Structure 1
């Protein structure tokens, strides 16, 4: 399930199943009160937050969720400083000071997080940010701001690297099965196979 949030319409994803109210949240980026209302309306019970990276449009609702549900955050160690630095997380450029404090579980390439018995593999995909990661479940990829339909993530922010981004996509994501559905941080979903054929940044 996808819930676009905030001015940048960041895609917040809910990992769950119809038989279980316990869920994981991927990149809850803004509109914390609205998101909490939606979760309460659906009687969903968040168990953890997975962050692809630490930009403000992906972490804006995290503190409210942590305060409400007392749940941990999974993210790459290089992104942890973004949680408490408004210039790194870019909220300062919006006149805000978004900070997040809570229980952090640092994850790196090769680590596995389990939703119930379903493995979620961590793939390091730096470029948009130094510690950007993607989360892979069988047939599904949560790509954050690394890969979009017909495009790729911006690298003109502090510590971004276009070369690293393209390397991440070509050596990591393009090795996934073509039928893998890609759920990006913004915009519509796509597939690995489609991007191999149509994405102008991937050659």
Structure 2
């Protein structure tokens, strides 16, 4: 399995490229602000051909380049239906302070031509890969975690978006957020995974479920229970 990632734009949201190997089909996960040029360079370096854009949730810092990438490559995007409204009204998912800061920005044209809803989807098969799609609301109503099963000596891989970070969890004070939902999602869908499962979060460094279970101050109580 091939994975490359980089933080994009002023929000430093992690964008990932995933495939079975270099030189093959690929998935692009969470192409945020100003991700297009960096992504193009990564794809060229590793000779990857994207077949889809996967979005962990609808916030602008994870979706801002999705429409541009989908249009340039003629590929679809995948997003849970509960967050689709943010593609048409990106400010609706942000805090009042962020809305003021972005009021003069052109936020039109951010919806890809083809958006496939993940509302009733629990598995995808794309780019030669099979992944589980776990609905993990809390940061937003439509957050999902993309989960790739362990294989050939490689541990399970979890793309957690803004649900779980190294040493932290997603904020819940934005529209559609819920602390109770977030903690239930983490307990049911993430802390149930093996200790060596790799966490690829929406911001910051990678981690493992075991490290988060033992050291994440937001989760130690859940792990003990």
- After TM superposition, give the deviation of residue 119 of structure 1 in Å: 1.1
1:31 matched to 2:40? The reply is: no
Q: Is the 8 A contact 2:59 2:90 kept in 1?
A: no
Matching of residues 73-84 of structure 1 within 5 Å: 73-84=77-88
Counterpart Cα distance in 1 of 2:11 and 2:129: 30
**CA offset digits 1:53-96 (Å, max 9, x no partner):** 00000001111101101111111110111110122243744233
Aligned residue pairs total: 203
TM-score of the superposed pair, with normalisation by structure 2:
0.84
- After TM superposition, give the deviation of residue 115 of structure 1 in Å: 3.0
> What runs of 5+ residues in structure 1 fail to find an aligned partner?
none
1:161 matched to 2:178? The reply is: yes
Report the 3-state secondary structure (helix = DSSP H, G, I; strand = E; otherwise coil) of the residue aligned with 1:20.
Answer: coil
Among 1, 9, 12, the residue aligned to 1:6: 9
CA RMSD, Structure 1 to Structure 2 (Å): 1.8
Give the greater-gyration-radius structure (CA).
2
- After TM superposition, give the deviation of residue 109 of structure 1 in Å: 6.4
Structure 1 counterpart of 2:146: 135
Among 98, 101, 118, the residue aligned to 2:129: 118
Mark the CA change 1:108 to 1:177 in structure 2 (over 3 Å): closer, same or farther. Answer: farther
Judge which range, 183-192 or 14-23, deviates more: 14-23
Q: Is the 8 A contact 2:11 2:33 kept in 1?
A: no
| 4+ residue runs over 4 A deviation | none
